């Protein structure tokens, strides 16, 4: 399967890394991740060049990792720096590939393509939302047993929320909802708006204690940014019916999707909120509700859909498309084009990665 290689992928939350090796499959490539002694992330190909033992079965020792089979040691750049056998030679052939990694907003990002093209200025712009004042955040990750494009489809379609997620949506939210989709290069923005619609249980929780907003209905808005290949920022807001946006309760979320294999996805999520931010019980309820939605509602549904498809390419299965699919179909086309362009470039240039 072809992936967009020259792009930043979410590899791990920084708090998953330590001086113990973490094994993670990314774009069908086994990777070992760890923190060096200065807490800088390191990512190496997870197979020793000697007899291919996964380095993740070895030990991190300061800034190096030692193979658990015969003890070769590798530095953060993948060069072998200690060979305990024979004359101790460490020729270049004993290197493993190292991958550019950068830590930003608590996430470790990995570049799977040509190292010389890795530039942190191409990290998703919308990560800035993490720094908005007045918000608290919760984050986590799960695995989805389905292609990452199907998880993107799910996130670019907010109409499923009222049917699949009793905590995140309310019956009737899709009625009269408008949707506007625009794109520029590898960024797609989808804006939805439903006015005078039942407020969702999640936003009811966020409204608690504010007697000025105890109405049954409100205006719900969603703004989704998809950045190829699969990094999504979704801001959902609610206001009283007809009230200005600057009065909104806002729940911004990140959905950073990284293909593990053609049929499995690492799903890193984060959710923030700007009301009741000092309430531990609210934080706990929000987290429980969100984790439940992703792990027990989205994941099983996406996996079940995949089980009824004869290939992992949705469009090859000739789906009956609805207007709600506009953004997801466009995202698939943009991604397909980017992968085609990259493949053609790779056909004429040597792989320097
Ligand atoms: S397999 Fe790693 S040192 Fe032998
Ligand atoms: Fe969902």
For ligand 1, atom 1, which residue shows the shortest CA distance? 51
Kindly give the distance from the C-alpha atom of residue 252 to the centroid of ligand 2, in angstroms, as a whole number. Answer: 14
Does the beta carbon of 59 lie inside 6 Å of ligand 1? no
User: What does the pLDDT average to over 15-37?
Assistant: 98
Phi, psi of 330 (to 5 degrees): -65, -40
Percent of the chain with pLDDT over 90: 84
Distance, in Å, from the CA atom of 199 to the CA atom of 191, rounded to the nearest integer, reads: 18
Average pLDDT, the chain: 93
* Sign of the torsion formed by the C-alpha atoms of 204, 210, 214 and 217: negative
- Reported as a single tens digit per residue, the pLDDT across 73-111 is 999 999 999 999 999 999 999 999 999 999 998 999 999
- Reported as a single tens digit per residue, the pLDDT across 59-71 is 999 999 999 999 9
- Reported as a single tens digit per residue, the pLDDT across 284-318 is 999 999 999 999 999 999 999 999 999 988 889 99
pLDDT of residue 351: 47
Does the beta carbon of 69 lie inside 6 Å of ligand 1? yes
Is the overall model pTM greater than 0.85, yes or no? yes
- Reported as a single tens digit per residue, the pLDDT across 264-285 is 999 999 999 989 999 999 999 9
pLDDT of residue 130: 78
Q: Which of 44, 53, 57, 86 most suits a substitution to test ligand 1, by most atoms within 8 Å of the C-beta?
A: 53
Q: Is the pLDDT of residue 126 over 80?
A: no
Distance, in Å, from the CA atom of 144 to the CA atom of 130, rounded to the nearest integer, reads: 24
pLDDT of residue 132: 83
Pick the closest to residue 26 from 121, 148, 141 (CA basis). 148
Distance, in Å, from the CA atom of 245 to the CA atom of 242, rounded to the nearest integer, reads: 9
- Reported as a single tens digit per residue, the pLDDT across 201-223 is 999 888 876 665 667 899 999 99
User: What does the pLDDT average to over 174-199?
Assistant: 94
Whole-number Cα distances in Å, 270 to 32, 105, 287: 23, 11, 10
Ligand nearest to the Cα of 144, by number: 2
User: What does the pLDDT average to over 220-235?
Assistant: 95
pLDDT of residue 214: 63
């Amino acid at each position: 399967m072809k992936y967009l290689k020259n792009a930043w992928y979410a590899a791990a939350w920084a708090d998953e890394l330590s001086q113990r090796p973490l094994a993670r499959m990314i774009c069908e490539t086994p990777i070992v991740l760890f923190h060096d002694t200065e807490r800088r992330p390191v990512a190496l190909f997870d197979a020793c060049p000697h007899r291919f033992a996964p380095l993740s079965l070895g030990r991190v020792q300061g800034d190096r990792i030692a193979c658990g089979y015969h003890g070769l040691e590798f530095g953060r750049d993948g060069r072998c720096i200690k060979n305990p056998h024979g004359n101790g030679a460490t020729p270049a052939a004993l290197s493993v590939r190292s991958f550019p990694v950068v830590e930003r907003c608590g996430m470790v990002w990995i570049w799977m393509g040509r190292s010389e093209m890795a530039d942190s200025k191409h990290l998703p712009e919308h990560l800035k939302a993490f720094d908005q004042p007045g918000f608290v955040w919760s984050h986590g990750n799960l695995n989805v047993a389905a292609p990452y494009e199907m998880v993107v489809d799910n996130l670019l379609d907010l109409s499923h929320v009222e049917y699949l997620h009793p905590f995140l949506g309310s019956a009737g939210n899709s009625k009269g909802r408008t949707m506007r989709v625009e794109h520029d290069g590898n960024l797609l923005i989808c804006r939805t708006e439903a006015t005078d619609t039942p407020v969702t249980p999640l936003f009811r929780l966020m409204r608690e204690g504010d007697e000025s907003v105890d109405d049954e209905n409100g205006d719900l808005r969603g703004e989704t940014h998809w950045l190829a290949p699969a990094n999504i920022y979704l801001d959902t807001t609610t206001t009283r019916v007809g009230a200005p946006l600057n009065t909104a309760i806002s729940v911004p979320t990140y959905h950073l999707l990284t293909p593990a294999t053609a049929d499995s996805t690492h799903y890193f999520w984060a959710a923030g909120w700007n009301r009741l931010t000092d309430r531990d019980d609210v934080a706990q309820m929000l987290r429980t509700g969100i984790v439940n939605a992703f792990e027990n509602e989205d994941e099983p549904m996406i996996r079940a859909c995949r089980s009824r498809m004869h290939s992992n390419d949705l469009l090859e299965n000739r789906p009956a498309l609805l207007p709600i699919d506009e953004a997801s179909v466009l995202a698939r086309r943009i991604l397909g084009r980017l992968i085609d362009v990259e493949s053609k470039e790779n056909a004429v240039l040597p792989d320097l990665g």
